[in-house]
Amino acid sequence: MEKIKRTEIVDLFKPCAKELIGKDVCVKAWVRTKRGNKNVAFLALNDGSTIKNIQIVVEIGSFDEDVLRRITTGACVRVEGLLVESMGKGQSVEIQARTIEIYGEADTETYPLQKKGHTLEFLREIAHLRPRTNTFSAVFRIRHAMAYAIHKYFNDNGFFYWHSPLITASDCEGAGEMFQVTTLDMEQLPRNEEGKVDYTQDFYGKRTSLTVSGQLEGELGAMSLGKIYTFGPTFRAENSNTPRHLSEFWMIEPEMAFYEIEDNMDLAEDFIKYLIRYALENCQDDLEFLQSMYDKNLTDRLRFVLDNSFVRLTYTEAIDILSASGHKFEFPVHWGVDLQSEHERFLVEHHFKSPVILTDYPKEIKAFYMKQNDDGKTVRGMDVLFPLIGEIIGGSQREENMEKLVSRMKEVGINPKDMDWYLDTRRFGSAPHSGFGLGFERLLLFVTGMSNIRDVIPFPRYPKNANY
């Protein structure tokens, strides 16, 4: 007998699947649960295409006992049978099995996802298997949808996808936070006359590292193609064991010629709102699941962001609010301090109860490339702060004036010679321009309602962990 073509489970729950009712269908999937009595067994199958399981009804008498015994939680099977409307609550259709073929068994003694209700901490220990759970499959489908929406947003708005290098020789941004890349033999490092490591013998002939940001190269793109964005992995060797830091994370960095900081803020707000709207419209089932399991305010919080304008204020105004609040902070507040997450959360969660964009920070706490204001004290940086997450975006208008940029570089101890390629943007046809970086996993924390950044990337990288 000829085999029937496979239908993905997601398609069985679409309205157009009505046509298939009363016909034979085939599904290929993993067994989530098996229950029943001595006459009939019910299998819940999931193939990853949707959060929904398809129920398979198995008349025990019509199947080989040995085959049925080998169908356990975690096993992978191919089932052919009649698609019928389901009497069961919450399931529109189910399959009455005619044939079952086992692709792969899963030993009941050793398969770790046997029981329901494992903690997220336990599942992190078996990150290679956790996508088989409802929670993680939902999170990773949303991750995919957001990645797609990011490309769609920029493409539809005239931005070009720009690939900045992952290996870089410029380390001005992440002093001390970079992972070194080398082919030198660590056991026998070549030394020069001064006794220092001789990097001329290294693969690139100089010391290189993994990038902490694609921005500087992104600026070259903006100053030629007009509007570009990068979307790729970035690496930071900061020893931050927090629920909001990874040592390998994905960042989206748009960079635009002729954008001033106000245009930059408008873009950041419109972009985030677009992504959240996209999730609400396209990831309903997965969001509903996560909401029911972890966070009953999830979709309300997403809608709230759509319905309200982000509050915009300067760093100086924020310091005034924090000082006047009378609140006891662990880190005292005065003009010039770098805001800690307790300060950011106070502003966002207690004071404004809304996403906030802070601008015009003291130049001492921001990077050398930010445009200097006329007051001589502040720069046109902007951070977007979100409830529960804190900083989700960091960006700025860039300093387009060659002299000002060079003098700032010298102040912070960067040799302008080392960055000659970058300075060419200012040397030849300089223009006002701006950009920002959105941490992809921070966005996903907000959209999924998960509380630990290690749970929104398939294989998280953090201090003392590089498994899989």
Determine the size of the site formed for ligand ATP (CB under 6 A): 15
User: Shortest approach of Mn ion to residue 370 CB, angstroms?
Assistant: 11
User: Shortest approach of Mn ion to residue 437 CB, angstroms?
Assistant: 8
Instruction: Count CB atoms within 10 A of the CB of residue 355.
Output: 25
Asked whether the beta carbons of 356 and 382 are under 8 A apart, the reply is: no
Nearer to ligand ATP, 81 or 395 (CB): 395
User: Shortest approach of Mn ion to residue 396 CB, angstroms?
Assistant: 10
Neighbouring residues of 159: CB distance < 8 A, sequence distance ≥ 6: 227, 228, 229, 254, 256
User: Shortest approach of Mn ion to residue 415 CB, angstroms?
Assistant: 24
> Which does residue 437 touch among Mn ion, ligand ATP, none (CB within 5 to 8 A, set by kind)?
ligand ATP
Nearer to ligand ATP, 59 or 266 (CB): 266
The yes or no reply on residue 285 touching ligand ATP (CB under 6 A) is no
> Which does residue 366 touch among Mn ion, ligand ATP, none (CB within 5 to 8 A, set by kind)?
none
The yes or no reply on residue 398 touching ligand ATP (CB under 6 A) is no
| Segment interacting with ligand ATP (CB under 6 A) among 24-32, 261-269, 307-315, 431-439 | 431-439
Q: Count of residues for the chain? A: 468
Alpha helices in 226-374 (DSSP H): 261-282, 284-294, 298-307, 315-324, 341-345
β-strand 93-104 against 54-59: which pairing, if any? parallel
| Segment interacting with ligand ATP (CB under 6 A) among 80-88, 240-248, 296-304, 309-317 | 240-248
List the one residue out of 426, 424, 429, 435 whose CA is nearest residue 227: 435
Q: What region, left, alpha or beta, does residue 105 occupy, with left being phi > 0 and alpha being psi -120 to 50 degrees?
A: beta
| Segment interacting with ligand ATP (CB under 6 A) among 148-156, 274-282, 403-411, 438-446 | 438-446
273-311: b or e for each residue (b if 16 or more CB lie within 10 Å)? bbbbebbeebbeebbebbbeeebeebbebbeebeeeebb
- Which secondary-structure segment (H or E) carries 402? helix 402-411
**Among 57, 246, 305, 450, contact with ligand ATP (rule: CB under 6 A):** 246
The yes or no reply on residue 366 touching ligand ATP (CB under 6 A) is no
User: Shortest approach of ligand ATP to residue 334 CB, angstroms?
Assistant: 19
User: Shortest approach of ligand ATP to residue 339 CB, angstroms?
Assistant: 9
The yes or no reply on residue 11 touching ligand ATP (CB under 6 A) is no
**Among 172, 251, 290, 348, contact with ligand ATP (rule: CB under 6 A):** 251
- Hey, is 116 helix, strand or coil? coil
Asked whether the beta carbons of 98 and 24 are under 8 A apart, the reply is: yes
List the one residue out of 146, 140, 132, 139 whose CA is nearest residue 47: 132
Nearer to ligand ATP, 130 or 245 (CB): 245
> Which does residue 246 touch among ligand ATP, Mn ion, none (CB within 5 to 8 A, set by kind)?
ligand ATP
> Which does residue 442 touch among ligand ATP, Mn ion, none (CB within 5 to 8 A, set by kind)?
ligand ATP
Written as one string, the DSSP assignment of 200-268 is GGSTTSS-EEE-S-SHHHHHHHHHHHSEEEEEEEEE------STT--SEEEEEEEEEET--HHHHHHHH
**Among 288, 320, 342, 391, contact with ligand ATP (rule: CB under 6 A):** 391
The yes or no reply on residue 381 touching ligand ATP (CB under 6 A) is no
User: Shortest approach of ligand ATP to residue 370 CB, angstroms?
Assistant: 11
List the one residue out of 334, 314, 315 whose CA is nearest residue 324: 334
> Which does residue 9 touch among Mn ion, ligand ATP, none (CB within 5 to 8 A, set by kind)?
none
Neighbouring residues of 36: CB distance < 8 A, sequence distance ≥ 6: 42, 58, 60
The yes or no reply on residue 394 touching ligand ATP (CB under 6 A) is yes
Asked whether the beta carbons of 8 and 58 are under 8 A apart, the reply is: no
> Which spans of this chain sit near Mn ion (rule: CB under 5 A)?
394
Binding site for ligand ATP (CB under 6 A): 236, 240, 245-246, 249, 251, 391-394, 437-439, 441-442
